[in-house]
Chain A
Amino acid sequence: MELLKNSPALLIPTVDDNRLTLVAQDLDIGYNSTPIITDIHLHLSWGQTIALVGMNGSGKSTLLKTIAGLIPPLGGTIAVFQAAPGKLPHRIGYLSQFHTANSILPLQVIDIVSMGRYPWRGLLGKFTSEDHDIIHAALEIMGMSEFAHQPLQTLSGGQQQRVFIAQVLAQQADLYLLDEPTANLDLAGKELFLQALEGEKKRGAATVVATHDIREAAECDWVMLLAQQVIAFGSPQQTLTPENLLKTFGITMVQQGECMQLAVVPCEHKHC
């Protein structure tokens, strides 16, 4: 194992459990051989959700990109469905961070959502009636059916984000990697998204979601707090502690009876 550990991007899962969608051991991530976070340990079973919580630049997106196979791991091992990241495109649904300037094609909403089926159908595979059903269902779930034939650029930012989420849902992936999916959504959009995620979870899909939203994170099965290092990884109860949140954000949570309450710490912390 020591020998294997030294070769980066090694793909042998150390935990032999086919309920696992994602296994990372001693994983170092970053760009151009500059590590951002080192020694990440992570495992995620079918039907489970994990929230990556941290501020901008904390390494959330970098971790998602590494899992998606967009950037190579700098060290340690990572396996996605017991294969190298990027080897099973139809099983991985990836939603990149919202950028207003890009991705606004003058195409119809339904054509954007249909792209979610491309990993299944490849270059020339004809869409089946099942594909069309899935595409329409995804639009329906995100409340965008009535906009199906509208050009994307005529929609508001929040509506566009719903379309992007519908595209990922149309993929019916086994593992979703979502980078701040709710950042641009209104309340109704957020609710639809959470319901959709719940539906995918019941289907058995696992989800890794990057977020600033601690309330959203508290709904997940697991939470990983990041601030250019792993601050904590475990259940929401274990991880979302005042000390950990202080280390992550410079803010904290306090227990009030059954529920947790957000409290901003007086400005002594370097993040303030």
Chain B
Amino acid sequence: MIEPFLSNPFMLRALIAGMLVSIACGIVGTLIVLRGLAFMGDALAHGVLPGIALAMLFGLPGIIGAALGAIVMVGGISLITQRSRLSADTAIGLLFVGMLALGVVIVSRSNSFTGDLMRILFGDILGIQDSALITQALATLLILGTTTIFIRPFLLLCYSPEQAQVAGFSVKLYHNLMLALIALTVIVSFQTVGTLLVFGMLIAPAGSAVLITHKIESMMVIAAAFGILAVYFGLLVSYHFNFAAGASIACIATLIFFIIFTIQNIRSAAAH
């Protein structure tokens, strides 16, 4: 159970990277679930794809391209919702397919099309470098710190944007800060679990946590713990059975959700 992580440095790096992603996703995912921003998280996860693809084409760090993609995505969504009568989910639906397609178009220019695309979409957790771990750790710290400081306006925003505004917390500022945190999580996690699977890590553990606790701090801690559990078992399964690592992690995260969900339903059925 522990041996693969001790005898293979790449497995240990994968475990550490996965744990950092889990902590970041546990915190930000809880905010997403409470605020009802799941679709926005999805949009950002896909929106970064063309940015990463472009960065790869020009030999730049993927993170810079991802950040650019995230900015274009968020900017595009606010532009459409403000300048038309379309709602945010229409804008998101439109842009995320557009950005995903654009990403694929750009990647298709490269010689190793399938490999590159797979790496962006599903991550390369077993090929994580030490430098990526450091970036990952710093980003996770930043997310943890920002959320700790701004938890009150974030909570008020989840409760009611109007109430937040009247309470003296700028809705615009804190909404954008929340989006920035989501973007940051997606940007630094894509190397580990990929742009597609990071969305699963954002939603599944947080969704499970919301089912079993009613305090926001416990939700974040439990979501992170579920994430870490999924990473650990996902890596183990992938090591022993030679499954794709990132996808195994996402599968187990979703499985945890359904186990909790089923237990909850059986318990509430028994209570009635």
The contact sample of 28 A-B pairs, CB cut-off 8 A, is A68-B166, A69-B165, A86-B165, A89-B166, A89-B167, A92-B166, A94-B162, A96-B162, A96-B163, A102-B160, A106-B34, A106-B214, A107-B34, A107-B216, A108-B214, A108-B215, A111-B214, A111-B216, A115-B152, A115-B156, A115-B163, A118-B169, A119-B167, A119-B168, A121-B152, A122-B152, A123-B153, A151-B214
What 1/0 mask marks residues of chain B from 212 to 250 whose CB sits below 8 Å from any chain A CB? 001110000000000000000000000000000000000
What's the least CB distance linking A55 to chain B, in Å?
22
Whether a CB of chain A sits under 8 angstroms from the CB of B158 is yes
Residues from chain B with Cβ under 8 Å of A111 in the complex:
155, 214-216
Residues from chain B with Cβ under 8 Å of A263 in the complex:
none
Interchain CA distance A86-B149 in the complex, whole Å: 23
**Are B214 and A70 in contact, CB atoms less than 8 angstroms apart?**
no
Question: What DSSP secondary structure best describes chain B's contact surface?
Answer: helix
Interchain CA distance A123-B151 in the complex, whole Å: 8
> Within residues 191 to 221 of chain B, which ones have a CB less than 8 A from any CB in chain A?
210, 214-216
**Are A123 and B160 in contact, CB atoms less than 8 angstroms apart?**
no
**Are A70 and B165 in contact, CB atoms less than 8 angstroms apart?**
yes
Cross-chain contact of A89 among B168, B214, B216 (Cβ < 8 A):
B168
B contacts, CB < 8 Å to A: 34, 149-150, 152-153, 155-156, 158-160, 162-163, 165-169, 210, 214-216
Cross-chain contact of B159 among A70, A112, A119, A124 (Cβ < 8 A):
A112
Given contacts A111-B216, A123-B152, A124-B149, contact A70 B210 (CB under 8 A): no
**Are B159 and A103 in contact, CB atoms less than 8 angstroms apart?**
yes
Nearest first, the 5 closest Cβ-Cβ pairs linking A and B are A89-B168, A94-B166, A151-B214, A119-B167, A108-B214
Residues from chain A with Cβ under 8 Å of B168 in the complex:
86, 89-90, 119, 122
Interchain CA distance A122-B150 in the complex, whole Å: 10
